[in-house]
Chains A and B, each alone.
Chain A
Amino acid sequence: MPGSSPKSQLPLTPAVLYILLALADAERHGYAIARAVEEASSGDVRMGPGTLYGSIQRMLRSSLIEEVPARRRPADDDERRRYYRITTFGRRVLDLELQRLGRLIRVAHDKRLLGGPGVA
């Protein structure tokens, strides 16, 4: 949204971060988002419909994502399904959040907190 800085959105909640990630490479409908999140987190993050659509509503309001206009949807898809895609603003926010997380990882790495595989 014009006038508000992407920084003010940080840090993102896990749900929002995962949804943004899921939408970063494709337009998806609700259930598809949940599936993508589940896959990306290797089943760790399993969103219920309430959490999912609640997050979607919030993200729509803060313009992180937007609904895809109807005519661009695949022709044979269920009419009721709404497709969502990430906005430019959402992309900036995601970018900033990933940079932030990257810095955290680097710090942890430098402090040798991140062991190799197998280290608890």
Chain B
Amino acid sequence: MRRMALPERVYRLAMTILPPDFRERYADEMVDFARTRLRAARELGAVAVMRESASLLADLARSAPSLWFEERPFAVTPPQRDDMDILVQDLKFGARALLRRPAFTVVAALTLALGIGANTAIFSLVNAVLIRPLPYKDPGRLVLVWGTQGSQNNQGVVYADYVDWRRQNHTFEEIGALRGQSVNLTGAATPDRLIGNFVSASALRAFGARVEQGRIFTDRETELATMAPVALISHETWTMRFGADAAILGRQIVINGTSFTVIGVLAPRMPTPMFSETPDVMVPIGYYPNAHGLDRGTRGIAVVGRLKPGVTIDAAQRDLQAIEQQLAKMYPTTNAGTGAEVVSLRDYTVGPTKAPLYILLAAVAAVLLIACANVANLQLARGASRARELSVRAALGAGRMRIARQLLTESVMLSLVGGISGAGLAFVMTKGLVALLSPLMPVYPDTIRVDGVVLLFALVVSLATGILFGLPPAWKASRTRLTETLRTRIGGGLHVRTRNSLVVVQLALSLALLASAGLLTRSLLALEHVDPGFDGENLLTAQFRLSPSKYDSPDKIWSMFERTIAEIRALPGVESAALVRASPLSGNGESYPAMVEGRPAPRAGEAPLVVVNPVSTDYFSTMRIPLLAGRDVASTDRTGTLPVVLVNRSYAERTWPGESPIGKRVKFGDDDWRTVIGEVGDTRHYSLNESQLLEAYIPYAQRPQIFTSLVVRTQGTPTDMVKPVQQAIWRVDRDQPVWRFRSMERDLAAVVSSSKVSMLLIGLFALVALLVAVVGIYGVLSYTMAQRTHEVGIRIALGADAGRVRRMVIGEGLQLIGVAVAIGLVASLGAARLLRSQLYGVAPHDVVTFVVVSVALAGVALVACYLPARRASRVDPMVALRSE
């Protein structure tokens, strides 16, 4: 061959500025062309050659930009066609392509329907709880105000402080007080216990209480000095308890022994901001039964406020804080170290559900991502078999972008089919979710539904999904060197790297989900194994509250209690029974700052807080709380005898380390000095996952209060004893309502049930994810092996044994799994950080969980690899070679 002349070589080099496609097609001819020109110029002399060379190079430089430019999508398809035309054509073509492969279409659409449906269902929950505004007028300006004492936040507010806030603030349009408390409704067929709210008129205005009949309270009716016995009842109470009495306004009802006039019926489902339940009845706050409840120094009321327009929470906080500082100067004994804390009502209401909901949403989104990766992989597998079809289309004049666009249209069509089925599924799934989760959500169950917003979400997710799983194949198609594909006989190995990455992503995400589910499971197990400190089996609890007007002295209260407990203990089927002011896990309880005799009084707000619980005799034996030292409460511990107290082990160890607490003297709040007579075991009081509280028990007889709980150890099923216990109480006082009969076993189960639900859901998502991912890795390996049948056949023909082939295939699977586990573990750590608030008794980086889920994932994935490996090892070399 003749040596290439220098100008020609330069020309070839210069041609690299042209698009590769173009070069590939025309380079030879162009060089030919240039050579002919140069040859002609050479006859005219060196100057002509120079001029010709320059002109050739200039020509290249001139044409390069437009050639590259034509690679861009918008300039691809002259003759220019209407975008709508292209879309319609693509849609038709896509529909045909999908219908031609019904198996693929059904599998892909189902996968997507599941993913999109689950996302939509979870979103309907998120929408109802976190997105939809709270059911009040202009809810963005509603706030709650807590009191603070020293380092303790979230305290109830002192009524007198509230009065000063109301008078002196500059930032609130309206600020009101309310207190929730169950009330006795008497005078009807049976005595009844209702959910009561004690409120100020300003509180009703603040959150915008609406009435359907009558009116709300006036300020005059709720001021302490001028209060009037008027009541508002809920729509539900009006219809269910008063038979929708048309003459309800003006009717007298007896609440806690006092007669009130009904002046209004609230609109249906009118909630109050603090309490999840709609109150049955509202009366002015001055009627709050505990006489000391509204004094300065006694915390306990809730404060709701409506900020003036444009006022921030911070500004309101500073405003109230300034007032508090003044109050501290005026009333140093009661107000030193106190403050106010303003929080948005929204945060208060939905705050606790936010984290679990976002976790669910993240988990279900991960499932959808995995599903996307799977469908993308299916598409790519098809894409490979379609490569020739696409190449032909390209050769017939379809531009790359045109083909990519076609594929994308097809993907989006597929995802929309999936989305529509998914939305249908979401209706069903949402129903299931409501049944499972609504007790834990701060909204009415029927507000959790698939509505326009949710459907819009489903649509957006479907489109995004379609684009997401459609992009890799479309991108691949736009990059494929068409001429190459046409020349090779199969599109084998074309997308292997992309498909491998997708499988790695799937496995890694599955691992993160599995790890999350694992952590939640361990957390749940830890919670279930928490020793509550008492025996919850066969234990019945109930509550009752005496009417303060009927039982107006400690003696009257105690004698009623004594007779009642005697009646109950005498019942057949009752092993033992006792009274306690606040039974464990009931949510009730009172804490007081404690002082120890002979030690300096701690500064305000720094004294240890102790849960002080009045109990009757036999409480510890009924609850099976061990008595560790000293003696139990005796029937001789009464008013007038030595004030005594029992302490729990934690309190004893913290206050008198290494010493016996017996005989020491302590004081809670402004109570008397009490002598410690015994030490008992620790119990969990408010929740199972609380850190151990300091507890003290005082004899009920030494401090009788109108509210009490009953604990009854039964011989058989506790709930069988509800009727007899009720009758026993009514034998003592036939007007005494009793409520909240509960089996302690059920209460204990309920505590873990919310954790159980999120664990189950995440676990379910993780399993689905694992399944999809495993199908993914199986698919990829099977596919690669099928592409390599020829190679495997040759290997076997050359003497490789079956084991070796298997090892080769599994080795490739292992590489994918290894990379996936590495990435997945990092993702898991991230997921665990999100989960932190939901975990109990297990660290977010729990090694055991991570190892177990990694091994499990790798194991399952390996099984998925084994099948294609076995198939490959059984390739008959003759068949394999012939098939090519």
Contacts and interface: CB of A to CB of B under 8 A. Distances in A.
Nearest to B81: A4
Contacts of A56: 26
Contact of B26 (A1, A53, A58, A61): A53
A50 B29 contact: no
Q: Which of B18, B22, B32, B80 has the most CB of A within 10 A?
A: B32
Contacts of A116: none
Contacts of A57: 22, 25-26, 67, 70
Those 5 A-B pairs whose CB atoms lie nearest each other, nearest first: A48-B59, A50-B63, A4-B79, A49-B30, A62-B78
Contacts of A53: 22, 26, 29-30, 63
Interface string A30-55: 11001000000000001111111110
Interface residues of B, number: 30
Contacts of A47: 59
A42 to B, nearest CB: 17
B20 to A, nearest CB: 13
B6 to A, nearest CB: 18
B63 A51 contact: yes
Contacts of B34: 49
A3 B81 contact: yes
A51 B55 CA distance: 11
B14 to A, nearest CB: 10
Contacts of B212: none
B70 A58 contact: yes
B814 interface: no
Nearest to B80: A8
Nearest to B79: A4
Q: Which of A8, A30, A47, A49 has the most CB of B within 10 A?
A: A49
Contacts of A58: 70, 78
Contact of B58 (A48, A54, A60): A48
Interface string B49-80: 00000011011101110110010000001111
Contacts of B26: 30, 49, 53, 56-57
Nearest to A2: B79
B190 interface: no
Given A31-B36, A58-B70, A61-B397, A50 B30 contact: yes
Interface of B: 18, 22, 25-26, 28-30, 32-34, 36, 55-56, 58-60, 62-64, 66-67, 70, 77-81, 85, 397, 399
Nearest to B57: A48
B74 to A, nearest CB: 14
B28 A80 contact: yes
Interface of A: 1, 3-4, 8-9, 29-31, 34, 46-54, 56-58, 60-63, 78, 80-82
Given A8-B80, A29-B29, 11 more contacts: A3-B85, A4-B79, A4-B80, A4-B81, A9-B79, A31-B29, A49-B26, A51-B63, A58-B70, A80-B32, A82-B29
Nearest to A89: B79
B79 A31 contact: no
Contact of B33 (A3, A34, A60, A62): A34
Nearest to A46: B55
Contacts of B29: 29-31, 49, 53, 80-82
A19 to B, nearest CB: 14
A54 B30 CA distance: 11
Given A30-B33, A52-B33, A80-B32, A61 B67 contact: no
B33 A31 contact: yes
A50 B16 CA distance: 12
Contact of B79 (A8, A51, A80): A8
Contacts of B28: 80
B401 to A, nearest CB: 13
Nearest to A1: B79
A57 to B, nearest CB: 6
A34 B26 CA distance: 15
19 contacts: A1-B79, A1-B397, A4-B81, A8-B79, A29-B29, A30-B26, A30-B30, A31-B33, A31-B36, A49-B29, A49-B34, A49-B59, A51-B63, A53-B29, A54-B66, A57-B26, A58-B70, A61-B399, A80-B28
Nearest to B33: A49
A97 to B, nearest CB: 15
Nearest to B70: A58
Contacts of A8: 79-80
B64 A50 contact: yes
A29 B32 CA distance: 12
Contact of A48 (B25, B60, B85, B399): B60
Contacts of B78: 58, 61-62
A50 B855 CA distance: 60
Nearest to A48: B59
Contacts of A78: 32
Contacts of A80: 28-29, 32
A61 B33 CA distance: 22
A53 B25 CA distance: 10
Contacts of B62: 48, 50-51
B714 to A, nearest CB: 86
B145 to A, nearest CB: 71
B56 A48 contact: yes
Contacts of B63: 48, 50-51, 53-54
B183 to A, nearest CB: 80
Contact of B18 (A48, A50, A63, A82): A50
Contacts of A31: 29, 32-33, 36
B60 A50 contact: yes
Contacts of A52: 33
Contacts of B36: 31
A50 to B, nearest CB: 3
Nearest to A53: B26
A66 to B, nearest CB: 10
A54 B60 CA distance: 10
A89 to B, nearest CB: 9
A1 B398 CA distance: 12
A62 B79 CA distance: 5
B482 to A, nearest CB: 14
A54 B59 CA distance: 11
Nearest to A4: B79
B78 to A, nearest CB: 4
Contact of B59 (A1, A4, A51, A60): A51
A89 B80 CA distance: 15
Contacts of A1: 79, 397
A61 B22 contact: no
A37 to B, nearest CB: 13
A31 B32 CA distance: 8
A29 to B, nearest CB: 8
Interface centre among B66, B78, B85 (most CB of A within 10 A): B78
A64 B798 CA distance: 55
A46 to B, nearest CB: 8
A4 B86 CA distance: 12
Contacts of B79: 1, 4, 8-9, 62-63
A90 to B, nearest CB: 12
B81 A54 contact: no
B266 to A, nearest CB: 68
Nearest to B17: A50
A20 B171 CA distance: 82
A32 to B, nearest CB: 10
Contacts of B25: 57
B56 A49 contact: yes
A73 to B, nearest CB: 14
A3 B28 CA distance: 34
A37 B730 CA distance: 116
A49 B35 CA distance: 10
A95 B425 CA distance: 60
A4 B81 CA distance: 7
A52 to B, nearest CB: 7
A9 B78 CA distance: 9
A30 B25 CA distance: 12
Contacts of A81: 29, 32
A4 B30 CA distance: 31
